[in-house]
């Protein structure tokens, strides 16, 4: 059985089109471990391309998919794994969408958040009022002070000393007024009532994780765990507690391929299809004009998994493009520098 695994696409249609160029229709299933798009429109475009592989496309949502409706019907053959089990070729595929970093529209997390908001309704109403009052006051403040460029000469020359002094006094007064306007909200956010809300919200997110895992565990109970594949956006930890012996955990989120085995389970990080990174000429050093030499390269990748019987034989990471020769990763500033040409992997 051949499986194509990918994640962290972030709506980058060009990366999916490149994947489509490289791989033919030779898979039994595609597994998408979240962060499909940046909004529904880009997610639809991504899924339409993936559907052309002519096999089931099984997916979960990640933190970038926070606004995607769970019941949306993408292209034919695309199936949301959340809350169900899908059997293909002797394997049972299951998973859940969302993660504590951002649950999006996860139903369990939504219920937990609603309960927290109910308990802190009075505090949240006061918070909303303070935020609205601050925004309104800041807008009035901006319109109430003169343009700081008003002192310049018509010819665009230097500002004369009296005008410069007046401008400095005006700017200092504006900053004092802005600090005064922001103070009530800052004081409120430092209060113990807001701290209690934050604690309860954090606890609710973790409780949602436990409940999602419990429901997932119940869905696959009674099946041979060696034939179960669990797909989530974030790596599952302490799986011996509620999902012992599961054959494969497939995930993304933390960019970078990894394939490990622990207590009879395999863990495969299939991310990230969208991975544009800054590079510098190999051997170069920072100096005058150095930033002008920086470029971007595409390090996007996906994973091909092959299985025979109850054993996952291989999990191979493949790049969308060849590594750029003569260039080295640059860990500093990340900006949309010009792309460098890259060949086939």
pLDDT tens for each residue of 282-318: 999 888 889 999 999 999 999 999 986 667 678 999 9
Q: Are 91 and 170 found together in one domain?
A: no
Give yes or no: residues 35 and 65 share one domain: yes
Q: How many domains does the chain have?
A: 2
Q: What is the dihedral of CA 33, 37, 42, 44, to 10 degrees?
A: 30
63 plus 128 within the same structural domain: no
309 lies in a domain?
yes
- Say whether both 265 and 231 belong to one domain: yes
| Interval 183-225: pLDDT, tens | 999 999 999 999 999 999 999 999 999 999 999 999 999 999 9
Please check whether residue 282 lies inside any domain of the structure: no
Residue 74 lies in a domain: yes
Question: Residue 233 CB: number of other CB atoms within 10 A?
Answer: 29
| pTM score of the predicted model | 0.86
- Indicate whether 229 and 82 sit together in one domain: yes
Token pair listed for 109: 């997390």
124 and 39 share one domain = no
Same domain, 150 and 245: no
Taking the mean position of all CA atoms in its chain, how far away is CA 175?
36
The predicted-structure confidence for 72-92, as pLDDT tens digits, reads as follows 999 999 999 999 999 999 999
Residue 140, domain extent: 112-199
| CB 3, CB 27: distance < 8 Å | yes
Does the bond joining 216 to the residue before it have cis omega, within 30 degrees of 0?
no
Rounded to whole angstroms, how far apart are CA atoms 106 and 60?
11
Q: Is residue 333 part of a domain?
A: no
Residues 99 and 123 in one domain: no
Asked if 233 and 99 touch (Cβ cutoff 8 Å), the reply is yes
101 and 32 part of one domain:
yes
Among the candidates 140, 164, 199, a domain finishes at 199
């Amino acid at each position: 059985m051949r499986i194509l695994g990918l994640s962290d696409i972030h709506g980058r249609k060009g990366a999916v089109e490149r994947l489509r160029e490289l791989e033919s229709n030779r898979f039994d299933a595609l597994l998408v471990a979240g962060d499909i798009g940046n909004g529904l429109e880009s997610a639809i475009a991504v899924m339409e391309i993936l559907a052309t592989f002519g096999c089931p496309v099984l997916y979960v949502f990640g933190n970038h998919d926070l606004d995607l409706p769970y019941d949306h019907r993408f292209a034919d053959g695309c199936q949301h794994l959340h809350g169900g089990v899908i059997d293909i070729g002797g394997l049972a595929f299951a998973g859940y969408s969302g993660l504590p970093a951002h649950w999006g529209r996860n139903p369990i997390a939504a219920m937990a958040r609603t309960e927290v908001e109910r308990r802190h309704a009075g505090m949240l109403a006061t918070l909303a009022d303070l935020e609205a009052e601050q925004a309104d006051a800041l807008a009035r403040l901006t319109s109430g002070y003169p343009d700081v460029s008003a002192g310049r000469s018509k010819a665009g020359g230097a500002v004369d000393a009296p005008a410069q002094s007046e401008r400095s006094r005006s700017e200092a007064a504006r900053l004092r007024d802005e600090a005064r306007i922001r103070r009530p909200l800052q004081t409120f956010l430092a209060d113990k009532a807001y701290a209690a809300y934050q604690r309860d919200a954090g606890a609710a997110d973790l409780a949602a994780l436990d409940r999602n895992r419990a429901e997932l565990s119940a869905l696959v109970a009674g099946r041979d765990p060696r034939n179960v594949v669990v797909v989530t956006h974030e790596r599952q930890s302490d799986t011996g507690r509620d999902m012992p012996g599961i054959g494969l955990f497939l995930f993304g989120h933390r960019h970078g391929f990894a394939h490990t085995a622990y207590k009879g389970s395999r863990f495969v990080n299939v991310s990230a299809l969208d991975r544009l990174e800054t590079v510098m000429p190999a051997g170069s050093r920072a100096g005058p004009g150095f930033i002008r030499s920086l470029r971007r390269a595409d390090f996007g990748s996906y994973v091909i998994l092959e299985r025979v019987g109850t054993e996952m034989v291989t999990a191979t990471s493949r790049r969308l493009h060849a590594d750029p020769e003569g260039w080295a990763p640059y860990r500093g500033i990340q900006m949309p520098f010009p792309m460098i040409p890259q060949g086939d992997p």
